[in-house]
């Protein structure tokens, strides 16, 4: 963890890969990650943790499969949303977007259960900033 302030703009400018989050800091046992996103992620579930999203730029859609059926939430820039643990979900960005995620350290981007991971999705627990 850095003892100096971290610019999210600088952090986001340090990489170009989509769906490949970078860990900007930690808070207790949680990672604060930033990611550039575009297109579809993968249907997945985090069995034991919620997943927090903050849209920094662009727009993020999150499809959810819930007991009541399937729905999609749309998050414009500046919006936050938490996917409850155990909820199958699939993020999608119709155009380039930037997001901040907050989840326990070691949590995989593709959750505990998931569909086949396409080549453009990085199945990682986050990468350190360069």
Residue 71 within a domain: yes
What token pair was written down for 34? 């930033």
Residue 49 within a domain: yes
The DSSP H or E segment spanning 11 is helix 8-13
Domains: count for the chain: 1
Residue 41 within a domain: yes
> How confident is the model at residue 4, as a pLDDT?
87
Residue 129 within a domain: no
Q: What is the span of the domain harbouring residue 56?
A: 8-106
Residue 127 within a domain: no
The DSSP H or E segment spanning 19 is none
Residue 90 within a domain: yes
> How confident is the model at residue 130, as a pLDDT?
78
What tens-digit pLDDT sequence spans the chain (130 residues)? 667 899 999 999 999 999 999 999 999 999 999 999 999 999 999 999 999 999 999 999 999 999 999 999 999 999 999 999 999 999 999 999 999 999 999 987 877 777 777 778 877 788 888 7
> How confident is the model at residue 126, as a pLDDT?
83
> How confident is the model at residue 1, as a pLDDT?
60
Residue 61 within a domain: yes
- Give the domain CATH number at 40: 2.60.120.10
Distance CA 56, CA 35 (A): 10
Q: The whole model's pTM is what?
A: 0.92
What token pair was written down for 85? 């643990």
Residue 98 within a domain: yes
What token pair was written down for 113? 């259960």
Distance CA 58, CA 62 (A): 14
């Amino acid at each position: 963890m850095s003892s100096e302030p971290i610019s999210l703009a600088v952090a986001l400018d340090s990489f170009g890969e989509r769906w490949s989050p970078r860990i900007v800091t930690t808070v207790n046992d949680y990672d604060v990650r930033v990611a550039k996103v575009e297109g579809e992620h993968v249907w997945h579930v985090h069995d034991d943790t919620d997943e927090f999203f903050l849209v920094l730029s662009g727009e993020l859609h999150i499809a959810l499969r819930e007991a009541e059926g399937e729905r999609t939430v749309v998050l414009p820039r500046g919006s936050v949303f938490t996917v409850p643990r155990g909820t199958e979900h699939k993020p999608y960005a119709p155009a380039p977007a930037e997001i901040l995620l907050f989840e326990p350290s070691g949590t995989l981007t593709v959750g505990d259960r998931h569909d086949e991971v396409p080549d453009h999705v990085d199945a990682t627990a986050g990468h350190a900033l360069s």
